Structure 1
Amino acid sequence: MTVKIAPSILSADFARLGDEVRAIDEAGCDWVHIDVMDGHFVPNLTFGPAIIKAIRPYTTKVFDVHLMIDPAQPYIEDYAKAGADIIVVHAEADKHLDRSLQLIRSLGKKAGVSLNPSTPETVLEYVMDKLDLVLVMSVNPGFGGQSFIEAQLEKIARIKRMIGHRMIDLEVDGGVTADNAHRVVAAGANVLVAGSAVFKTKDYAANIAALRR
């Protein structure tokens, strides 16, 4: 299984965001993870579609856009037009999850669902046929730099069994470091989101390589 590394630009230097995106591209990242927060569903404010559109020319890598907003559905098309390749909505923030996933795919984008730490994986059962990705939050969303919640390893393994042979990526976001990445992958994940672990020093290539190892 090839593991993808998706640095979260939530930990990047916002004053140099385009240059930071180019730097992680050159350092060998696979995807660029973009945490969209609304100050309502999660206690923080981050990127709108205009910022995503502005940084899109700095790389051809996949833009993995994680919508931590409620409601998400009215804004999905805006993020698609801004340059998202994957759009992930939260099960907890979407009253009509199936409809949102259909909308994302109708716009030509890959569709994902994210689960907060206390949300059971059973919410995925009736939308598996519309998923390209499942994102397991291994911290409570809203801030970078938090510690990995160990109980999520069991959830990751259960979701991996649900996925079976389907072509669905299993992504983990929150507290992923070079020290615990091997356990996250062993549980079944194939995409690792890392903010602090990548941006903690200026040697992004070494930090990404450490996660791969």
Structure 2
Amino acid sequence: MKIAPSMLASDFANFGPETRRMEQGGADYIHLDIMDGLFVPNLSFGLPVVKAARPYAETPFDVHLMIQEPAKYVQRFAEAGADWISFHLEATGDPAHTAELIRACGVHPALAVKPATPVERVYPYLDLVDMVLIMTVEPGFGGQSFMADMMDKVRLLRGRLLAENKSVLIEIDGGVNEETIAQAAAAGVDICVAGTGVFKAADAGEAIRALKTVAAQYEGRAPRRKEG
């Protein structure tokens, strides 16, 4: 299991040092939620903040665009330092075109889906993306409770990937803690976004290690992909 601390739960007054603290704590990715107040009913931070944080860590930046028109901003987020860009299937524009734009910028494309969106809707795009992000809360605000029924979507997607022998990663975002990460690992999740549980811990490194330790006990229950 890889852990991607969500900067939405960080101390915004110390955004750069918080980014470095997550890297030093063993984060596998740094998750940055971009909200426009239109696609979701909240605002977070944007391009200047991502660019300013980039020098503080070498850990890959996992940028999650919760915005209405993602294709318009792909190149600028790539230039700001994104290594991965997730955009929503429910946003405007052609998902295939947006994924192609992201890859053309030298960035990994990922497709995100809200809780109400059937996971089967991502199947036509599995050859175009490197990751699928399944929201386990309603996007827009941190601190929400984990939606356990979203693990059914993870299992469906994992089964599809296994059947087609695809190496697309599965990420979840929302409500991840030491209890819920066990469900995620058993269902076949590869990356968990974690917020307050990591940032509010006295030692972020210990919190990340604890999440990984729990996940390791359950990961073998979900098949990953075919061999060969």
Q: Which stretch shows the higher mean deviation, 24-33 or 163-172?
A: 163-172
Alignment of 1:2-151 (within 5 A): 3-151=1-149
Unmatched segments (≥5 aa) in structure 2: 214-228
Q: Which stretch shows the higher mean deviation, 45-54 or 110-119?
A: 45-54
TM-score by structure 1 length?
Answer: 0.97
Q: Per-residue displacement from partner, 1:81-140 (whole Å, max 9, x unpaired)?
A: 000000000000133000000110011110000000010012112111101000000000
Q: Which amino acid aligns with 2:176?
A: V
Q: Which stretch shows the higher mean deviation, 60-69 or 116-125?
A: 116-125
Q: Which stretch shows the higher mean deviation, 30-39 or 121-130?
A: 121-130
Q: Which residue of 2 aligns with 1:189?
A: 189
Q: Residue 65 of structure 2 contacts residue 87 of structure 2 at CA under 8 Å; is this kept in 1?
A: yes
Give the Cα–Cα distance (whole angstroms) in 2 for the partners of residues 127 and 94 of structure 1.
Answer: 16
Q: Which amino acid aligns with 1:93?
A: A
Q: Does 1:205 align with 2:205?
A: yes
Give the Cα–Cα distance (whole angstroms) in 2 for the partners of residues 67 and 103 of structure 1.
Answer: 14
CA RMSD of aligned residues (A): 0.8
Q: Which amino acid aligns with 1:179?
A: E
Deviation at 1:201, TM superposition (A): 2.1
Q: Which stretch shows the higher mean deviation, 188-197 or 160-169?
A: 160-169
Give the Cα–Cα distance (whole angstroms) in 2 for the partners of residues 172 and 210 of structure 1.
Answer: 18
TM-score by structure 2 length?
Answer: 0.91
Give the Cα–Cα distance (whole angstroms) in 2 for the partners of residues 188 and 115 of structure 1.
Answer: 17
Q: Which stretch shows the higher mean deviation, 16-25 or 93-102?
A: 93-102
Deviation at 1:168, TM superposition (A): 1.0
Report the 3-state secondary structure (helix = DSSP H, G, I; strand = E; otherwise coil) of the residue aligned with 1:92: coil
Deviation at 1:171, TM superposition (A): 0.2
Deviation at 1:46, TM superposition (A): 1.1
Q: Residue 71 of structure 2 contacts residue 93 of structure 2 at CA under 8 Å; is this kept in 1?
A: no
Q: Which residue of 1 aligns with 2:169?
A: 169
Give the Cα–Cα distance (whole angstroms) in 1 for the partners of residues 130 and 22 of structure 2.
Answer: 24
Unmatched segments (≥5 aa) in structure 1: none
Give the Cα–Cα distance (whole angstroms) in 1 for the partners of residues 198 and 181 of structure 2.
Answer: 13
Give the Cα–Cα distance (whole angstroms) in 2 for the partners of residues 26 and 210 of structure 1.
Answer: 15
Structure 1 runs (4+) deviating above 2 angstroms are none
Q: Which amino acid aligns with 1:195?
A: G
Deviation at 1:55, TM superposition (A): 0.5
Give the Cα–Cα distance (whole angstroms) in 2 for the partners of residues 107 and 15 of structure 1.
Answer: 30
Give the Cα–Cα distance (whole angstroms) in 2 for the partners of residues 209 and 29 of structure 1.
Answer: 9
Q: Percent identity?
A: 42
Q: Which amino acid aligns with 1:137?
A: M
Q: Does 1:155 align with 2:144?
A: no
Give the Cα–Cα distance (whole angstroms) in 2 for the partners of residues 201 and 7 of structure 1.
Answer: 12
